[in-house]
Structure 1
């Protein structure tokens, strides 16, 4: 079931979705280690990215690159073709293996700037953005993530797929909702199949994919070439590895033991504090630890307690307690 994206080959097309505030470097590296065909960065605003890079050049301050991250895709949002092209070149030079363009974000503050899913209504501008970015970073592959359309009356994803193909895009990811649905209702995987039928490009299906049944249903209904998983990986960074096992062997990979889940959560916590620094890392980690604890006894009390705690040792001790593993006492030391 492997697919080719320019010079990047995915043996197992199971992709981590870009999620703002979630798919930072610590999370991407963890998901990659636990099994994923490809990981995608948080959505990056092209204009802000270019501005920060120019400031860094003036101050001679080094900017972060993607060293140590094998085949990461960087997702860019914006509405100015030349600015997006410059941002794409910057991230190519920092080591991105793929540049992904966002035509899917439904958030109001993005849409109001005529970016994200607003571009589903601006096919001419959308084509100029795609063509300009592709030319700017060729031969680096450029991909596109989009929705079914703006609303139920304007489901133009099949037409946008043809525009993308003509513009030199190498792969499409389609979230099975329109912009006006936001994240409500259910993803329409069969409508993704209409996009697949309209293009020669590889198509990835996205939206509401968490369980083995979801994976099978999404692929059967869409006839897509792979799956993208977002919220299903929150608190379960091993989920993509399980899905890869499903595609390879026909059976979902085993759920980690409680000991392993605890150790993964502790590893993630330490990585966040190391990456962001203690004070900021503690705050950012709270949502992740809440997701790890979901479904465990006393999960609500645990979330409330860690939101008020600023000592990493005590947080780690509480995390161990929520998994009720006696050996955890050592992990908090």
Structure 2
């Protein structure tokens, strides 16, 4: 029996003040969180505070730690650039750098993960409305996307808890081809090619042009297909795959497939399935090639002097997962 997968999502939203384009997004993001806290009844005195003690975003699963401090900071939950609120559902709504971010409650299946992802959209809508009703505050628009059209990208992250006993190389061998090719059904679509959209055209994924390397600890630069942040929030027996390559989806179907298939691939790794023979020769280049292949027929190169399309790779992954998890998938389509 494979363990139940613990799953969560984190979505960084774009934010603008249409009537005041010069206002700082740090200011507007802070105001959005504070306004939501007030409208939801959380306020300040009744608000659940966030515990920063377990946060270590600069600790790498490969064995090194770049943390700048060793003690947990004490932060005012209404502070400019640091405002945050923890909801009664266990979700967190806060300012992350210069945008509002929603972290969903953890779930054990893809269906519930979709529900709580959609709840985040409703929360952002309520925050924008509430902020616009505050005197002397600009009207806000909050967008669920990944690019601003001027070269900046913000993420839609997924998190999957899995036993630390899983072989790290086996996890990467499975997830790299999966992440590179799953965009054919999880891509949110983007007008413009290149980081700044400087070239005309339409592509499948919003995030594809911002992936720069295969494996990396970074999330805001030198972004990797595999992110190696070692921050499980659950003890030393577990690891958490922090995914930064996905798009922010409005389609519930795409979100369900994005989360469900990835959880199953991890389960297959735990069941001993080997994916090393479908290693991509140039995975970063393949991310962009597949995003621009609107017909999904362009072959990408694999090691062993072979070529497969993204659809063919996904079919191969599906076949292996289905075979390995046949007993646990009985009764599920």
Q: TM-score, normalised by structure 2?
A: 0.31
- Structure richer in helix, relative to its length: 1
- Structure richer in strand, relative to its length: 2
- With a CA cutoff of 8 Å and minimum separation of 6, indicate the structure with the bigger relative contact order: 2
